[in-house]
Amino acid sequence: MFSLLNPSISKTWQPLNSHSVIKTQHMRLNNLIVHMEDSTTDFLCPIYCALTHKTVLRKPVGSDELNDLIATHDRVFMLGHGVPEGLFSLAWNEPLIISAANVHALQQKPESVYIWCHASEFVSRYQLNGFASGMFISEVSEARFCGIPPAACRQEAVDASNKLFVRLVAEHIEAPVSEMFEHVRAAYDCDCAITQYNRGRLLLADGKTNTHRSNRPTRHPVSSLVRE
């Protein structure tokens, strides 16, 4: 492993010294993971930890550099905290790592995954393709804010919901986003108000036709880069 000029970038490379290795790399998609360092969203790391062909961005970079990275990867996974305007960078000088400045680059990546609060609004606003979360409860404070009944606002319920969602996405991490979406929507379903709230706001978006598929709650209505 070695560091490049940007201190947030480090890469590890697999040796291309056999035909079988080269063939495997051509068959697999090259993934860009945009997930800022944040202990409150580290539960999302298992989504991509098993991917063998990935570049992981955990620190902010400029929009031009990020657009270059997006252009050189097949898929983009964007994870963390955010707002309808984009994904938080957690940097004081530039609040968003994913924003309108990246839309043109993302429009070329229809197999992208957007997982942050209100990511579906960002995707819809810019007619992007991909699998997106809506408002996603991942903390007890968010459950209270979203009107989950007090008896259901428990840390163990939040943890169980987070772990189930992460496991389901990870299970289909190499699949097309349409298959990932259907798998998660079908299996992310249990007798938990938090899970039902999140599940009802998942979105599969087709930016070309501006059609969207989601599944609203039915049972619990509630008012540094590392390349491998």
Does the pLDDT of residue 5 top 90, yes or no?
Answer: no
Alpha helices in 114-154 (DSSP H): 119-125, 140-145
Q: Which residues pair with 82 in a beta bridge?
A: 87
- Most confidently predicted of 9-13, 124-128, 215-219: 124-128
pLDDT given at position 92: 84
Q: By the 8 A CB rule, do 166 and 47 touch? A: yes
pLDDT of residue 145: 97
pLDDT at 12 over 50: no
Least confident of 7-21, 57-71, 88-102: 7-21
Residues 119-155: b if buried by 16+ CB within 10 A, e if exposed = bbbbbbebebbbbbbbbbbbbbebbeebebeeebbee
Which pLDDT value is given to residue 141? Answer: 96
pLDDT in tens, 26-70: 347 899 999 999 999 999 999 999 998 999 999 999 999 999 999
Q: For the chain, percent helix, then strand, then coil, each to nearest 5?
A: 40, 20, 45
* 3 state SS of 171: helix
Across the chain, what does the average pLDDT equal?
Answer: 84
pLDDT at 212 over 60: no
Cα 132–56–49 angle (5° rounding)?
80
In the chain, the percentage of residues whose pLDDT exceeds 70 is 79
Domains and CATH numbers, the chain: 2-227 (3.40.50)
For the segment 174-200, the average pLDDT, to the nearest whole number, is 96
Q: Where are the alpha helices (DSSP H) in the chain?
A: 19-27, 63-71, 103-107, 119-125, 140-145, 155-171, 177-187, 193-199
pLDDT over threshold 60, residue 22: no
What pLDDT shows up at residue 226?
52
The DSSP letter of residue 30 is: P
Strand partners, 79: 35, 115
Rounded CA separation 11/3 (Å): 7
User: What mean pLDDT comes out for the span 88-113?
Assistant: 96
Rg (CA), the chain: 18
For residue 217 the two structure tokens come to 């709650």
